[in-house]
Structure 1
Amino acid sequence: MTASPLRRGPGAPPPVRAVHLGLGSFFRAHQAWYTDRAGEPWGIAAFTGRRPDLATALTTQDGLYTLVTRGPDGDRFEVVRSVVRAHAAADSDAWLALLADPAVRVLTTTVTEAGYHRRPAGGLDTDHPQVAADLAALRRDPRAPVGSVPARIVAGLLARRAADAGPLALVPCDNLPDNGAALTEVVLALAAGVDPTLPDWVAAQVTTATTMVDRITPEPTAADRDTVRAATGTEDLAPVVTEPFSEWVVSGRFPGGRPAWEDAGAVLTDDVAPFEQRKLWLLNGGHSLLAYVGSVRGHATVAEAAADEWCLALLHGWWDVCTPHLSVSPEEVAAYCAALVQRFANPRIRHSLAQIATDGSQKLPVRLLPVLRWERTAGRLPESAVTVLAAWLLHLRGAGAPVKDVRADEFRALAAGELAEAAPRVLSALDPALADDRELLGAVRDRAADLSGRR
């Protein structure tokens, strides 16, 4: 049987009322899915972060795609209809036109931790070549094409101010602590550098929500297209596979309105922090542990690493370390961790450790270091945290998953040479305070030697 193309039927698609930056699998399994299920139709115009391929594929099928929810007992297929326009990152004119449109009231982002161009201690990294180039370009011409996320947002805000298009809510959906404040900080810093009058307009017209997002979404494969074709009879160029579990916690004001995400199961709250810490340290921290330790031990996926009794014991050890520092009850932590074991062990979700290992220099400072600092202040040296740092060091030296990091060249150079000398260099670059902790340095060096079989 010949598969039919995925196309919208008769009738107009929902009007574009939201713009998204970071068109990828997670956005389509999460924010777009919630918006699709939120009742009153809100169409989304979504832009890629870099490459145009996905935008091209989605454009040929009117923005539609199949979401495959892959549970232990089988697959569920649904067509998500909320994305009505897909654009490549280079389509600067479309970006500016949409953000100048009064009908658009929400801008969401999924650009990963590295996309915000923050310094390790916070604040906009104005020394980054792309950020510096974008600043210069927008000073010359507010409609100039730019590449960094903060500059793209500022360019859109300049266009919105010029059009007097009304209020806009920014909604970051990446794994950063207090991601609303983090986004506000870099946007205002770049805005002030471009036009000193812009921050006052932003303060009056733009709000920023803070969110916590959670849904395991592996990179799609060619086999996923085959699965969709066989099950639905449609030829989908861009399906998404995800797990049954999903959570979205949102705090913020939306003066221009928003989709009724709570109707789709999102939690609206005044305080995201308890949810955020629980997820960042337990799920994301656990993922990083499995990514580095598991890949060094020869595993390729989360499910494989979670089936390794040594890795699983280490994971439980990390969760035990985190529990006293969380603001939710130990009983809630225990239930959450029990659910995580089941989610991680789902053999039908092929979540690549290499995918999770990306950008460790940006992820470990928020997933691991806060808990480690509190433990060291109390005089404790948690074995699980030491092992993660040791495995990350070996990863930088070529063991396990390949290195893909925004600071890859820097950290590879620091990790080269004798292990005893590499450990303090790498940890100092991750956080200068770590280099002053001789006990921690010695433990990381020794554990790295053990993991690499050199002792």
Structure 2
Amino acid sequence: MRPVRIVHLGLGGFFRAHQAWYTGAAPDAEEWGIAAFTGRSRELADQLNTQDGRYTLIVRGPEHDEMAVQRAVVAAHPGTDLTAWLDYLARPQVAVVTLTVTEAAYRRNPDGGIDLDHPDVRADLAALREGGGLRTVPGRLVAGLATRRAAGAGPLAVVSCDNLPGNGEVTRRVVAGLAAEADPELAGWIADHVSFVTTMVDRITPRTTADDVRAVAERTGWADAAPVVTEPFTEWVLSGEFPAGRPAWDGAGARFVDDVHPHETRKLLLLNGGHSLLAYAGSARGHETIAEAVADPVCRGWLEQWWDEASHQVPLPAAEVDAYREALLDRFANPRIRHTLAQIAADGSQKLPIRVLPVLRAERAAGRMPAGAVRILAAWIAHLRGAGAPVKDAGAGPYTERAGSVRDVVALLAPDLADDEALIAATGREL
């Protein structure tokens, strides 16, 4: 069995199609096993353990599927198994911790630091000081690093793979902030021994269906309970240090750069922002998937308009941006990838500030009224009012309560724009 040298938090389809795939495809894959933890539930962990961590990756092109068994995951645990989590982090051979936990899981306050007023963060702070179960991702990371320090297990890298600008710095801030409150000496040790790597990740991974499970069984003869469907395209760009080593991910196509920012901006605004537009506006027009929405000439026109605005804020050569847009159209239009708009619409209160507001602010500062950005904002407010995909967003409560007033929603989402009368009016007209 491959030795566990990577611990992952956020066991799900995207991780298994992306980071686990890169690890399994690396030329030194036999040296790098992954122990993966779910968010909380144990169902997927149990399924994978029954299969010795193996699962089928279905790469779904426009015309046919390619299937391959993946073996990078050697152990799976429910996220509630704190004993196993701490045991792995205390091992010197563990060199990397990776995360795919969604934007909301970092528990940030409006300034980007750890939200010490959040009840779950307060509970974790008490548990870190006195013992007990942990509720949050920052809490689990701090507890693991405290255990590593006590064991003298040496340095390691923490690698966020979530769709957050500067996700390495985001992770560092919340971990350092919580550690400083729990134990200032631990915070100092983390600063000296733990690196926080910034990444850009890209691979569309829709939810697996019962039909996908049947297709694997029919084609391979193996009753795989946990296959993953993904697209042919994949990209991973990383920046940062790995003080205890890493797999040769670059041998599998990952890129290591000095600055991830241009690449993450391109992806967050064009792919993720485009997804949010189609999720809210496309579902309001009756579509269920990205492929259906992008085939609608109206939605396609809206998408191009948004991309024209967003491209102004992407710090890459125009030719590279244009090529990425063309590739995105092909990816979005793949009729065999059933990426549902309802799945993408989730957690909009966390996503819009990252995917849409930077463009909206920049365009308004330049004296322009960005119709594409306004449309996404209006479509999201319509979504809060009941149009299109159902609301599935832990942070939506204050917004749905005020969804009848454009100004109130904008004041919550972007207080600096709440007095922009032209923007409020334009959003109201678009609604």
- TM-score, normalised via structure 1 length: 0.93
Q: CA deviation at 1:359?
A: 0.7
SS at match of 1:235: coil
Structure 1 residue runs of 4 or more that deviate by more than 6 Å after TM superposition: none
Q: CA deviation at 1:324?
A: 2.2
- What amino acid maps onto 2:422 in structure 1? E
Aligned partners of 2:205 and 2:180: how far apart in 1?
Answer: 36
* Partner of residue 328, structure 1: 316
Q: CA deviation at 1:414?
A: 1.5
- What amino acid maps onto 1:157 in structure 2? L
- What amino acid maps onto 1:112 in structure 2? T
SS at match of 2:115: coil
Matched, 1:164 2:152: yes
Any idea what the Cα deviations from partners look like across 1:11-44, whole Å, max 9, x if unmatched?
xx10000000000000000000000011212000
Matched, 1:250 2:253: no
Matched, 1:444 2:430: no
Give the root-mean-square deviation of aligned CA atoms: 0.8
Matched, 1:312 2:300: yes
* Partner of residue 66, structure 2: 76
Q: Count how many residue pairs are aligned between Structure 1 and Structure 2.
A: 429
Any idea what the Cα deviations from partners look like across 1:397-431, whole Å, max 9, x if unmatched?
1111111112122221121xxx4xx2111111111
- What amino acid maps onto 2:124 in structure 1? D
- What amino acid maps onto 1:438 in structure 2? E
Match of 2:359 among 362, 371, 387: 371
Matched, 1:151 2:139: yes
* Partner of residue 291, structure 2: 303
Q: CA deviation at 1:189?
A: 0.3
Any idea what the Cα deviations from partners look like across 1:78-102, whole Å, max 9, x if unmatched?
0110000000011110000000111
Q: CA deviation at 1:119?
A: 2.0
SS at match of 2:402: helix
* Partner of residue 116, structure 1: 106
- Identity over aligned pairs, percent: 60
SS at match of 1:406: coil
Q: CA deviation at 1:139?
A: 1.2
- What amino acid maps onto 1:357 in structure 2? A
Any idea what the Cα deviations from partners look like across 1:416-453, whole Å, max 9, x if unmatched?
xxx4xx211111111111211111111111111xxxxx
Match of 1:291 among 255, 274, 279: 279
Matched, 1:58 2:64: no
Q: CA deviation at 1:305?
A: 0.5
- What amino acid maps onto 1:404 in structure 2? K
Aligned partners of 2:96 and 2:137: how far apart in 1?
Answer: 16
Q: CA deviation at 1:140?
A: 1.0
Q: CA deviation at 1:322?
A: 1.6
* Partner of residue 433, structure 1: 416
- What amino acid maps onto 2:297 in structure 1? E
Q: CA deviation at 1:120?
A: 3.2
Q: CA deviation at 1:183?
A: 0.4
- What amino acid maps onto 2:100 in structure 1? T
- TM-score, normalised via structure 2 length: 0.98
Aligned partners of 1:317 and 1:43: how far apart in 2?
Answer: 44
Aligned partners of 1:90 and 1:149: how far apart in 2?
Answer: 11
* Partner of residue 134, structure 1: 124
Aligned partners of 1:408 and 1:52: how far apart in 2?
Answer: 27
- What amino acid maps onto 1:426 in structure 2? V
* Partner of residue 376, structure 2: 388
Aligned partners of 1:120 and 1:241: how far apart in 2?
Answer: 35
Aligned partners of 2:319 and 2:193: how far apart in 1?
Answer: 42
Any idea what the Cα deviations from partners look like across 1:249-301, whole Å, max 9, x if unmatched?
01111110000000000001111011111001000000001101101111110
Matched, 1:265 2:253: yes
- What amino acid maps onto 1:441 in structure 2? I
